[in-house]
Amino acid sequence: MTDAPRTDDERDELASAYLDGEASPVERALVEGDPDLQDRVAALARVRAALAAAPAPAAPVEDPVAAALAAARAPGGLLDDASPAEAEATAAPSESVVPLPAGRRDARRLRLVAVAAAVVAAAIAVPLLGRATDRADDEAATATFESAEGPLDDDLAGSADRAGGAAEAGDAPLAADAAAPVSGAPVAVDLGAHSDLAALHDAVEARLQAQEEAEAGGSDPSSTVAYDGGTTTTGAVCAGELEVPAGHEVLLEATAVVDGVPVAVVAHRAPGAEPIVVVATVEGCEVLSAGPR
């Protein structure tokens, strides 16, 4: 840029480059001979100073470093004692346990473990349910878990990759902790096929109203479950995408089909608040809607 800049964008770009010492000699001369450009340099310099001087919150160094070192010591990792050949032979995902420090951000990994626990529980529970009773919701539970299988695996694999192995932290204590809320969630139901989201929301509304009436009549006292945070059984279809805040009551877990697309539905609410309905595609976990019903 050697001609005098005309537009605001051009003038700001020149002033900004000058400020950073990235302007050419010709450009520097232009700035130094133009009071307006010098004003722009001064304004941008104040922004730069504000950014540079802004206090950064102290961060705990131990947890991230410990997690990274744990990843390095995992089989096949940088600090793994095994030879490369041995490492390759032992680096199966199930053995790549990376102990992560406890903390709020491990909740996501807990949820991933919860998903795995849910799948195991489903594998055990579904056949038993099928044999044991004629309860109407058994077939719905079966449908839910069948539809969850494929994308669930994909999501776990993707998350493990993104987390650099963190999601592989399937050690027993974590799994035990995480499995508890999942086992207490309502049984998922199948809301059937709908032409669009509005129709699905109508079905959700009808279902919730029916539940409310049943509860009012005392016929179904256990249709809702107080939840302590994490992913419901249906939410396990899209781990991390269908989260339920701690303290919320899960009103409904369901699967459905909208315009030919399989979806998962979770309805929940804070005590005394309006229900919130979240709909996400089973494939790809795209959230189609989330909000009060």
Partner 1 sequence: MAVDPDQELVEAAQAGDAAALEALLRRHHDRVHLLCRRLTGSDADALDATQEALIAVVRGLPRFDGRSRFTTWLHRVATNACLDELRRRRRRPRPGLPDDADDDGHPHHEVADPRGEEGLHAVAERLVLDEALAGLPVEFRAAVVLRDVCDLDYAEIAEVLDVPPGTVRSRIARGRRLLARQLEPPASAGNQAHPPDRPSTTAPEPPTPPQMAP
| Residues near partner 1 (CB under 8 A) | 8-9, 12-13, 15-17, 20, 22, 43-44, 46-48, 50-52, 54-57, 59-61, 63-65, 67-69, 71-73, 77-79, 98, 103-105, 107-108, 162-166, 240-246, 248, 266, 268, 270, 276, 278, 280, 285-287, 290-291
Closest approach of partner 1 to the CB of residue 132, in Å: 33
- Name residues whose C-beta falls within 8 Å of residue 279's C-beta, 6 or more positions apart in sequence: 197, 200, 256, 258, 263, 264, 265, 287, 288, 289, 290
Least separation in angstroms between CB 122 and partner 1 = 23
Contact between 165 and 98 under an 8 Å Cβ cutoff? The reply is yes
CB of 43: closest distance to partner 1 in angstroms?
5
Smallest separation (angstroms) from partner 1 to the CB of 48: 5
Nearer to partner 1, 187 or 285 (CB): 285
Q: Judge contact between 74 and 80, C-beta under 8 A.
A: yes
Q: How far apart are CA 99 and CA 34, in angstroms?
A: 60
Query: In sequence order, what DSSP letters do the residues of 212-250 get, joined into one string?
Result: HHHHHTTS-TTS-EE--SEE-TTGGGGTTTSEE-TTPEE
**Nearer Cβ to partner 1 (56/136):** 56
CB atoms within 10 A of CB 95: 11
For partner 1, the closer of residues 127 and 291 by Cβ is 291
Our CB check for partner 1 shows the closer of 150 and 245 to be 245
When the beta carbons of 35 and 218 are compared against partner 1, the nearer one is 35
Give the Cα separation of 290 and 216 in Å (integer). 27
Q: How far apart are CA 202 and CA 200, in angstroms?
A: 5
Q: Rounded to the nearest 5°, which phi and psi values hold at 214?
A: -65, -40
Which residue type is seen at 204? V
Residue 248 Cβ vs partner 1, minimum distance, rounded to whole Å = 6
CB of 21 to partner 1, least distance (A): 8
The whole-angstrom separation of Cα 281 and Cα 293 is 18
DSSP 8-state class, residue 4: P
Shortest Cβ distance from residue 54 to partner 1 (Å)? 5
In the bound state with partner 1, the residue whose beta carbon lies nearer, of 96 and 142, is 96
Our CB check for partner 1 shows the closer of 198 and 290 to be 290
